[in-house]
Amino acid sequence: QVQLVESGGGVVQPGRSLRLSCAASGFTFSNYGMHWVRQAPGKGLEWVAVIWYDGSNKYYADSVKGRFTISRDNSKNTLYLQMNSLRAEDTAVYYCARDIKVWGLTNWFDPWGQGTLVTVSS
């Protein structure tokens, strides 16, 4: 079955970096755009970034632009989020999610991974 498994979360000091991974299985990863969405503790959902199925286009939320980089390795069926210059307000559960559409983007998310918690604190 379709599965997304995030890893790489943890506690990190402000200003430091962290890289999240999302391992995909059960579908042809290279056919789908992929997203990162985050949720601060007790708060709502915030879209973070998207990468096209072939990596040709990437878009970011204003809140992370210039600090976060989304990438993918289709040979490894893995999505990444490189997070630099981390701030306390980046503390959240980070979910990876697949776009619905093959070889395109709808900005509908299904399925989602289980999430990985990033805590930015000194």
Binding residues vs other proteins (CB under 8 A):
35, 37, 44-47, 50, 59, 61, 95, 100, 106-115
CB of 50 or CB of 83, closer to other proteins: 50
Instruction: Spell out the alpha helix ranges (H) of 1-122.
Output: none
CB of 9 or CB of 14, closer to other proteins: 9
Distance from the Cα of residue 6 to its chain's centroid: 8
For the CB of residue 12, give the shortest distance to other proteins in the complex, in Å: 22
Closest CA to 105 of 38, 52, 45, 54: 52
CB of 47 or CB of 52, closer to other proteins: 47
Cα–Cα distance measured from residue 11 to residue 13, given in angstroms and rounded to the nearest whole number: 7
For the CB of residue 96, give the shortest distance to other proteins in the complex, in Å: 10
DSSP strand E in the chain: where? 3-7, 10-12, 18-25, 32-39, 45-51, 58-60, 68-73, 78-83, 92-102, 109-112, 116-120
For the CB of residue 64, give the shortest distance to other proteins in the complex, in Å: 12
For the CB of residue 7, give the shortest distance to other proteins in the complex, in Å: 15
CB of 23 or CB of 100, closer to other proteins: 100
